[in-house]
């Protein structure tokens, strides 16, 4: 709610085990989050299908989020080294997830951590597994993926073929790269999943501080902040009155 009141129109959600704090994919916990948000505001809620993947959460467990038919969900398009671990997303599994999202009318956000991943996303389009208007996230700065530099963002942006794109930058590169993304016409994501510093040596206490900072930057650059209703129109996501399958 703090992030929503500061200007965020989409909430990207992971859940964790309340006791161990480890990443966990649990339909009951996702339902609690969905209902809690929906009771208070009209944000687009995007659940992850990648959460915990590099840390031992199985592919099948990751897909429990789709049982709730969220408006949107992330879709990781490639297997890759992720820090000191391996993030498994085999092509046949990615395609099956895309089909499941299409059947449930869940808007996929295609997560691309390197240049070659954009080509894999395009293959999903060619196979009619995802449909335009597409939503693609350019993720820079993960160890094992493309590094977070202006040159790399400019190159990736050239390859997205007019799709609606979003910038995610990890660590200290977050605000410089997101600022460039805004000037290039992209959408941006902030949050403590990606970066825990508000500024050099200053730890963020809550997500809202990061949201508020990027909103200030966007407004200084003359950009308007989309409301959830405007974001649904831009992304062509029909608003749902229920998230849980009846």
Domains with residue ranges and CATH for the chain: 2-222 (3.20.20.70)
The tokens for 137 are 């996230």
Quote the pLDDT of residue 221: 97
Q: Rounded to 10 degrees, what is the CA torsion of 2, 224, 226, 185?
A: -120
Comparing 188 with 241, the larger pLDDT belongs to: 188
Burial per residue of 97-110, b for 16 or more beta-carbon CB atoms within 10 angstroms, e otherwise: bbebbeeeebbbbb
Measure CA 231 to chain center.
Answer: 14
Q: Report the first-to-last Cα separation within the chain, whole angstroms.
A: 26
Condensed to tens digits (0 to 9), the pLDDT of residues 167-189 reads 999 999 999 999 999 999 999 99
Average pLDDT, the chain: 92
Report which of 63, 48, 59 is spatially closest to residue 90, judged by C-alpha positions: 59
Res 245 pLDDT > 50: no
Quote the pLDDT of residue 238: 83
213 SS3 class:
helix
Whole-prediction pTM value? Answer: 0.92
Q: What separation in angstroms does the CA of 51 have from each of 19, 59, 96, 120?
A: 17, 10, 17, 20
Res 48 pLDDT > 60: yes
75 SS3 class:
strand
Condensed to tens digits (0 to 9), the pLDDT of residues 190-207 reads 999 999 999 999 999 999
Taking phi over 0 as left and psi of -120 to 50 as alpha, with beta for the rest, 198 belongs to: alpha
């Amino acid at each position: 709610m703090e992030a929503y009141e500061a200007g965020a129109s989409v909430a990207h959600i992971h859940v964790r085990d309340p006791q161990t704090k480890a990443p966990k994919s649990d339909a009951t916990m996702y339902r609690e989050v969905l209902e809690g948000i929906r009771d208070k505001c009209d944000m687009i809620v995007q659940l992850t299908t990648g959460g915990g993947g590099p840390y031992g959460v199985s592919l099948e467990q990751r897909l429990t989020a789709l049982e709730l038919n969220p408006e949107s969900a992330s879709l990781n398009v490639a297997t890759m080294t992720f820090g000191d671990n391996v993030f498994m997303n085999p092509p046949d599994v990615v395609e099956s997830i895309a089909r499941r999202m299409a059947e449930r009318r869940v808007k996929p956000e295609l997560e691309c951590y390197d240049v070659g991943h954009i080509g894999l996303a395009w293959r999903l389009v060619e196979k009619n597994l995802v449909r335009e208007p597409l939503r693609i996230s350019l993720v820079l700065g993960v160890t094992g993926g493309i590094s977070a530099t202006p040159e790399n963002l400019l190159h990736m942006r050239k390859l997205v073929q007019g799709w609606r794109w979003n910038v995610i930058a990890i660590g200290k590169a977050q605000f410089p790269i997101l600022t460039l993304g805004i000037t290039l016409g992209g959408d941006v994501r902030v949050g403590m999943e990606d970066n825990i510093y508000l500024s050099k040596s200053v730890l963020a206490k809550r997500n809202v501080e990061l949201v508020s900072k990027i909103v200030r930057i966007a407004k200084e650059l003359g950009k308007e902040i989309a409301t959830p209703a405007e974001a649904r129109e831009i992304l062509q996501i029909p608003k749902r009155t229920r998230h849980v399958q009846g």
